[in-house]
Amino acid sequence: MKKIISTSRAPQAIGPYSQAVETNDTLYISGQIPLDAESMEVVEGGIKEQTVQVMKNIGAILEAAGYSYSDVVKSTCLLSDMENFKAMNEVYAQFYTKNEPARAAFAVKELPLNVLVEIETIAAK
């Protein structure tokens, strides 16, 4: 059975997709960008500030679905420039301190709203 997950503590979808979908004790979180949930504006600052906001958005969705960062099994990080990888990684590491999830990181040509980072997440129980 497919369950749609939505929370006001994370940015609402800006397209025809759900914040997250849960099925068979697995949670699939759509790519999160650094939007503030209240203002729906991109947070000010550089890659570190944007990554913090993305991780907070992921955390809010995890919590709404009854999961935590420790349940995350896979992340895909999309960066506007691989020059930002080290700084993104420093912030990311603060949220996954042990039993880190599998991960891939890619530089892409462009991200929505010209943000610097987008991260999609899969968690399982």
Residues spanned by the domain of 102 = 2-124
pLDDT value for 14: 83
Q: State how beta strands 117-124 and 102-107 pair.
A: unpaired
Q: How many separate domains does the chain show?
A: 1
Does pTM top 0.95 for this prediction? yes
pLDDT by position in tens, the chain (length 125): 999 999 999 999 988 999 999 999 999 999 999 999 999 999 999 999 999 999 999 999 999 999 999 999 999 999 999 999 999 999 999 999 999 999 999 999 999 999 999 999 999 99
Q: 19 and 10 in contact (C-beta within 8 Å)?
A: yes
* CATH code at position 86: 3.30.1330.40
Q: Other C-beta atoms within 10 Å of 72: how many? A: 24
